[in-house]
Amino acid sequence: MKLQQLMSYIRRAVDDYHMIEENDRIAVGISGGKDSLALLYGLHGLMRFYPKKFEIHAVTVDLGFDNLNLDKIKELCNQLEVPYTIVKTDIADVIFHQRKETNPCSLCAKMRKGALNEAIKTTGCNKVAYAHHKDDVIETMLMSLIYEGRFHTFSPVTYLDRMDLTAIRPLMYMQEADVIGFINKYDVPVVKSPCPADGHTKREYIKQLLRQLNLENPGVKERMFAAIQTGIEKYKTE
């Protein structure tokens, strides 16, 4: 996938859900993974010609794993001339050593998001862009149905009233395969997650389940996404 195609997906989501307004300062949450780096590239490209002027600021929450090397991310941000903030935390120690969580992902996500949002406020940003793509949206819906008994997933735009911050998800129309194609084409410096739970989570199980469902029922992912969009539009009109 070319950069122009990536920006096209992002612009469609931004326009459809009015994600960006004039003079927005948008923090881009950078984990070091493929999705967040694709989002950084896409928003940086969009900045150059989008009719509404906006700025971006990259932010990474360092969970405290000893083997996390962010040097390549720093170099990338320097090349793109994007300000970059790294937030040091001891979340990994709390999760894996102090509390010894058997299912660490939920608590880790809450702590990481809390640290990210607090850091964002100090940068003067009024919005935060999360790198959730189409597959994430569908997988979260399935996880909610199977494990919580409710129909719920990410919203394209969410106002976080306690933080006075708006979260946006500009990759929501992109499939994970498209993201991988972009990363491979441009040799983007992805940083492997040092988390010991990576690849051994409920989300990974749901990802494999969804892949199997789509193999056996071609097009089921798109139909699920269409149902989610219908739910979003209905919610907006109520």
Give tens-digit pLDDT for 95-142.
888 877 777 777 888 888 888 888 898 899 999 999 999 999 999 999
Predicted local distance difference test score (pLDDT) of residue 198: 66
Q: How far apart, in whole angstroms, are the C-alpha atoms of residue 22 and residue 54? A: 6
* Gap between the Cα atoms of 103 and 95, Å rounded: 9
Q: What are phi and psi of 99, to 5 degrees?
A: -90, -25
Residue 184 DSSP code:
H
Calpha distance 165→160 (Å, rounded): 5
Cα gap 110→159, rounded to integer Å: 16
Average pLDDT over residues 33-51: 95
Structure-block tokens of residue 90: 């001891």
232-238 long-range contacts, Cβ below 8 Å, gap at least 24?
232/155, 232/156
Task: Return d(Cα 80, Cα 74) in angstroms, integer.
Answer: 10
Name which of 96-105, 152-161, 224-233 the model is least confident about: 96-105
The string of pLDDT tens digits covering residues 2-29 is 999 999 999 999 999 999 999 999 999 9
Closest C-alpha to 141, from 200, 234, 212, 206: 206
Domains of the chain: 3-135+153-196 (3.40.50.620)
- What mean pLDDT do residues 39-48 have? 96
Q: Which amino acid is at 229?
A: Q
- For 94, counting Cβ atoms within 10 Å of its Cβ (0-12 exposed, 13-18 middle, 19+ buried), the class is middle
Q: What was the pLDDT predicted at 216?
A: 95
Phi first, then psi: give them for residue 93, nearest 5 degrees. -65, -40
Q: How high is the pLDDT of residue 44?
A: 97
**What does DSSP assign to residue 180?**
H
Under the banding of pLDDT at 50, 70 and 90, the label for residue 236 is: low
Helices marked H in the chain? 3-16, 34-47, 71-80, 91-93, 105-123, 134-143, 176-186, 202-216, 220-237
The label of the residue with tokens 């709390």 reads: 94
Contact 182, 6 (CB under 8 A): yes
| Phi, psi (deg, nearest 5) at residue 59 | -135, 130
Q: Answer yes or no: is pLDDT of 232 > 80.
A: no
pLDDT at residue 90, as a whole number: 86
